[in-house]
Amino acid sequence: KEWNNRIHPDDALSMTKAIDSYLSGKSDKYVHEHRVICKDKSIKWVLSRGMIVKRDKHGKPLRMVGTHTDITARKLLETRLENLAHFDALSNVPNRTLFNDRLKLALSYAKRERKMLAVMFIDLDLFKEINDLYGHETGDIVLKKVSRQLVSCVRESDTVARMGGDEFVILLPIIDSEEDAISVAHKIIESVAQPIKVEKTHLHVTCSIGIAVYPHHGKDEKLLVINADMAMYQAKKSGKNQAKFFEEAMLQ
């Protein structure tokens, strides 16, 4: 009973199901990974294995023995490796791979429920000049701070990802209208334009944003990203520090 009370609440149901499945004969072994809450309130990952060692004359399980192995170190390593695969090492926001996965899921939902979503392609203005003048270390600090600003401008359900260099992309998986997207874009433009302090220097960057909305500006992931990118280049060409929606005329 004391052991069961220490099982992390989020893992208790799956552990109970795994035990019940084994005891009822639906599965031929009991093996389960779950978290336990220690006396000092720290959380450890445990691998539990168990087997029935005694049954009554009707075959009903009477006694079960097992082992518990601490696998916390392995789980931490798995998390780190997963982060390397899906998150940008510099800014710690999702990378291109994770963004594409989330866009695919969001698009599938939008098609099924007949909803709108928006993809925003963002490129920093004046970033190359900062890199050339102050060096890559300063440039990296600017990218980290801009990443945090972008995240602060969107909802938890939205995704900010770094595509590489000074290019970012944002997924707004559910919007009611194009006005929702342009409202977020204006918020981002204002936030990014705030001076960034690096040591004693105040640096200034702005951003150009291109927006593609499903279903108006593309019906698949690839086209939405390409069209948002095209709109971003148009925003840059038109004077920078602004947002533009994709338009068919941009293809000419």
CATH of residue 40's domain is 3.30.450.20
pLDDT above 60 for 21: yes
Residue 47 domain-assigned (yes or no): yes
Three-state SS across 198-212?
A: ECCEEECCEEEEEEE
**Is there a single domain that holds both residue 110 and residue 57?**
no
pLDDT band for position 113 (cuts 50, 70, 90) = very high
CA–CA gap between residue 86 and residue 101 (Å, rounded):
10
**Is there a single domain that holds both residue 31 and residue 106?**
no
Q: Of 40, 59, 77, which residue is a domain's last?
A: 77
99-104 average pLDDT score: 95
**Is there a single domain that holds both residue 16 and residue 55?**
yes
pLDDT above 70 for 44: yes
pLDDT in tens, 65-95: 899 999 999 888 887 777 678 999 899 999 9
111-139 average pLDDT score: 93
Residue 65 domain-assigned (yes or no): yes
CA–CA gap between residue 104 and residue 222 (Å, rounded):
10
In this predicted structure, what is the pLDDT of residue 76? 83
pLDDT band for position 108 (cuts 50, 70, 90) = very high
In this predicted structure, what is the pLDDT of residue 1? 55
Residue 103 domain-assigned (yes or no): yes
pLDDT above 90 for 152: yes
The parent domain of residue 56 ranges over 2-77
61-68 average pLDDT score: 88
pLDDT above 90 for 244: yes
Angular region, 28: left φ>0, alpha ψ -120 to 50, beta rest: alpha
Residue 99 domain-assigned (yes or no): yes
**Is there a single domain that holds both residue 43 and residue 114?**
no
**Is there a single domain that holds both residue 156 and residue 180?**
yes
- Active site positions, annotated: 166
Number of independent structural domains in the chain: 2
Residue 26 domain-assigned (yes or no): yes
| Tokens at 75, concatenated | 């789980």
169-197 average pLDDT score: 95
**Is there a single domain that holds both residue 70 and residue 117?**
no
228-250 average pLDDT score: 93
**Is there a single domain that holds both residue 138 and residue 196?**
yes
Residue 82 domain-assigned (yes or no): no
pLDDT above 90 for 230: yes
**Is there a single domain that holds both residue 91 and residue 190?**
yes
9-15 average pLDDT score: 91
Average pLDDT, rounded, for the chain:
91
Task: List b or e across 77-115, with b for residues whose CB sees 16 or more CB atoms inside 10 angstroms.
Answer: eeeeeeeeebbbeebebbbbebbbebbeebbeebeeeeb
Query: With pLDDT > 70 as the criterion, what percentage of the chain qualifies?
Result: 98
| Tokens at 105, concatenated | 């899921």
CA–CA gap between residue 221 and residue 103 (Å, rounded):
7
**Is there a single domain that holds both residue 141 and residue 234?**
yes
**Is there a single domain that holds both residue 200 and residue 107?**
yes
Q: Of 77, 105, 120, which residue is a domain's last?
A: 77
CATH code, domain with 108: 3.30.70.270
**Is there a single domain that holds both residue 149 and residue 35?**
no
Question: What ranges in 153-196 are assigned the alpha helix state H?
Answer: 178-192
In this predicted structure, what is the pLDDT of residue 60? 87
Q: Of 36, 59, 77, which residue is a domain's last?
A: 77
**Is there a single domain that holds both residue 45 and residue 93?**
no
Residue 15 domain-assigned (yes or no): yes
